[in-house]
């Protein structure tokens, strides 16, 4: 009986020991699984340190922060330029995890030369285990260059300037190119650290323009106004037969800065990258103005003379006429009216030619004299000659001004009557302490 009792006690102890061992093993397994789950991170995940560098991950032992310099898809390799300016070539295979800035997986074809990246790799085997796009690695600015100085290796944008060196990557069409393929007119994206350019990517490249049949436009200024940008930038060149001009691709308004001329291109002139484009100046047309003729009498004859072209235009009634931009002399005649002459400069889209003809019988021959003679005469602001002078003046009020070097000027209002035939004025010598306001206006009679 006693032996059986002892056997039962031993059995219970053994079972309790087995149960305790099972609990211990289960606890250890739980801890191992828990640690494995909680310590596992998505490939290429950062531990949120301030500079964004990968601190620790499940695979890979080395890290770099830099920019993609070259992609060889045939050999499945990528060349990176690290922060020290060193080139690092890593193999990319099916196990490499590539993600965007938010950590979502992307295809390898999404990577482009010039991208800022964080890279984790196995140094011994030079295999990238994780690549993550990180646009915040470098400050990025999209700019129009004001100056591209290749000798000083600087790029000026407004009041700021940036420097580059042999390690700077120049990118065009997603491939690294030499700096010679980038021109000042290009729109570019700069990845910079401080004032140092890490990479320059061409956003909008350039094309070339030439002129042909330049005729009389040699050396004239041409203006290209860029229409596709937020800021309507302008470029100015001197026209030459053999010169090529670099312009950013896009639409332009083209104006030749020559008297009354502009290039007629409809609707816009487009610069493309594919080939040089010619502007044929045989297509240049004269700018035309609409001149509205308004004469206070009917049955007149107006002659509009262009001295440059030697052509005359005859107008016999009020009308709207078209004239090329330029300088003209206008003469209007009508029986019993004084002949009208005027210089006309046409340089606006619309001009008003307003003419007030005066009858001959309303004019009086008036002799204007001064002591001493040789003084300049101005009637109603118009210079008419020097004293003595006989001038036809209309009846009524006029503004008379007489001036001569060394003498005080005379300015006064006069009234011409039917019996007026002479105006005489005495000029007073100007002294050092006198000016034109130091003498009272003369009051000699007009007779």
pLDDT tens per residue across span 285-328: 677 889 999 999 999 999 999 876 677 889 999 999 988 887 89
* CA 45 – CA 5 distance, rounded (Å): 63
Architecture of domain 361-426 in CATH?
A: Sandwich (2.60)
Q: What is the pLDDT of residue 19?
A: 75
Q: What is the pLDDT of residue 376?
A: 95
pLDDT tens column, 285-297: 677 889 999 999 9
Q: What is the pLDDT of residue 38?
A: 43
Note the residue count of the chain. Answer: 447
Range from 78-87, 243-252, 358-367 carrying the lowest mean pLDDT: 358-367
**pLDDT of 55 higher than 50:** no
Instruction: Give the chain as a 3 state SS string.
Output: CHHHHHHHHHHHHHHHHHHHHHHHHHHHHHHHHHHHHHHCCCCCCCCCCCCCCCCCCCCCCEEEEEEEEEEECCCCEEEEEECCCCEEEEECCCCCEEECCCCCECCHHHCCCCCEEEEEEECCCCEEEEEEECCCCCEEEEEECCEEECCCCEEEECCEEEECCCCCEEEECCEEECHHHCCCCCEEEEEEECCEEEEEEEEECEEEEEEECCHHHCCCEEEEEECCCCCCCEEEEECCCCCEEEEECEEEEEEEEECCEECCCCCCEEECCCCCEEEEHHHCEECEEEEEEEECCCCCEEEEEECCCCEEEEECCCEEEEEECEEEEEEEECCCECCEEEEEEECCCEEEEEECCCEHHHEEEEEEEEECCCCEEEECCEEEEECCEEEEEECEEEEEEEECCCECCEEEEEEECCCCCEEEEECCECCCCCCCCCCCCCCCCCC
Architecture of domain 139-204 in CATH?
A: Beta Barrel (2.40)
**pLDDT of 438 higher than 50:** no
Q: What is the pLDDT of residue 59?
A: 46
**pLDDT of 6 higher than 60:** no
**pLDDT of 56 higher than 50:** no
Q: What is the pLDDT of residue 9?
A: 59
Q: What is the pLDDT of residue 142?
A: 86
Instruction: Tell me the mean pLDDT in the region 210-229.
Output: 84
Write the CATH number of the domain with boundaries 206-286: 2.60.40
Range from 93-102, 122-131, 287-296 carrying the lowest mean pLDDT: 122-131
Range from 14-28, 143-157, 402-416, 430-444 carrying the lowest mean pLDDT: 430-444
pTM for the full predicted model? 0.50
**pLDDT of 283 higher than 80:** no
Domain extent listing, the chain: 62-133, 139-204, 206-286, 288-355, 361-426
Q: Which range has highest mean pLDDT (2-16, 58-72, 304-318)?
A: 304-318
Write the CATH number of the domain with boundaries 288-355: 2.60.40.1120
Range from 79-83, 219-223, 263-267 carrying the lowest mean pLDDT: 263-267
Q: What is the pLDDT of residue 433?
A: 63
The fraction of the chain above a pLDDT of 70, given in percent, is 81
Q: What is the pLDDT of residue 51?
A: 36
Q: What is the pLDDT of residue 281?
A: 82
pLDDT tens column, 258-276: 665 655 554 578 899 877 8
**pLDDT of 353 higher than 50:** yes
Architecture of domain 62-133 in CATH?
A: Beta Barrel (2.40)
| Topology alike, domains 62-133 and 361-426 | no
pLDDT tens column, 175-216: 889 999 999 999 999 988 889 998 999 999 999 999 888 877
Question: Residue 11 — very low, low, confident or very high, per pLDDT cuts 50/70/90?
Answer: low
């Amino acid at each position: 009986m006693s032996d059986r009792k002892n056997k039962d006690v031993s059995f219970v102890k053994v079972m309790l020991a087995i149960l305790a061992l099972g609990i211990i093993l289960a606890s250890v397994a739980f801890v191992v699984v828990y640690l494995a789950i909680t310590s596992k991170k998505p490939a290429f995940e950062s531990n949120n340190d301030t500079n964004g560098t990968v601190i620790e991950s499940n695979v890979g032992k080395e890290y770099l922060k830099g920019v993609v310099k070259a992609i060889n898809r045939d050999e499945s390799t990528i060349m990176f330029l690290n922060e020290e300016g060193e080139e690092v070539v890593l193999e990319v295979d099916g196990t490499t995890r590539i993600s965007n800035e938010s950590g979502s997986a992307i295809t390898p074809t999404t990577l482009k030369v010039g991208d800022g990246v964080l890279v984790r790799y196995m140094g011994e085997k030079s295999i990238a285990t994780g690549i993550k796009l990180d646009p915040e690695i470098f400050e990025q600015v999209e700019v129009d260059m004001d100056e591209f100085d290749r000798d000083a290796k600087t790029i000026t944008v407004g009041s700021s300037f940036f420097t580059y060196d042999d390690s700077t990557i120049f990118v065009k069409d997603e491939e690294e190119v030499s700096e010679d393929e980038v021109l000042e007119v290009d729109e570019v994206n700069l990845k910079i650290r401080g004032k140092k350019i890490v990479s320059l990517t061409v956003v909008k490249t350039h094309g070339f323009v030439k002129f042909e049949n330049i005729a009389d436009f040699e050396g004239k200024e041409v203006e290209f106004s860029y229409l596709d940008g937020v800021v309507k930038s302008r470029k100015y060149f001197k026209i030459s037969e053999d010169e090529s001009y670099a312009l950013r691709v896009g639409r332009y308004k083209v104006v030749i800065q020559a008297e009354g001329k502009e290039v007629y291109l409809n609707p816009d002139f487009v610069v493309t990258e594919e080939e040089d484009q010619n502007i044929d100046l045989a297509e240049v047309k004269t700018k035309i103005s609409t001149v509205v003729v308004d004469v206070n009498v009917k049955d007149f004859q107006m002659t509009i003379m262009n001295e440059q072209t030697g052509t005359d235009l005859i107008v016999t009634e009020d009308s709207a006429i078209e004239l090329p931009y330029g300088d003209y002399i206008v003469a209007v005649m009508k029986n019993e009216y004084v002949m009208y002459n005027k210089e006309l400069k046409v340089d606006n889209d619309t001009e008003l030619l307003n003419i007030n003809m005066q009858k001959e019988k309303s004019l009086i021959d008036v002799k204007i004299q001064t002591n001493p003679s040789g003084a300049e005469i101005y009637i109603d602001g118009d210079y008419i000659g020097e004293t003595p002078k006989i001038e036809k003046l209309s009846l009524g009020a006029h503004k008379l001004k007489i001036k001569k070097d060394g003498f005080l000027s005379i300015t006064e209002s006069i009234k011409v009557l039917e019996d007026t035939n002479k105006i005489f004025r005495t000029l007073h010598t100007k002294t050092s302490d006198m000016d034109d306001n130091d003498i009272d206006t003369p009051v000699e009679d007009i007779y």
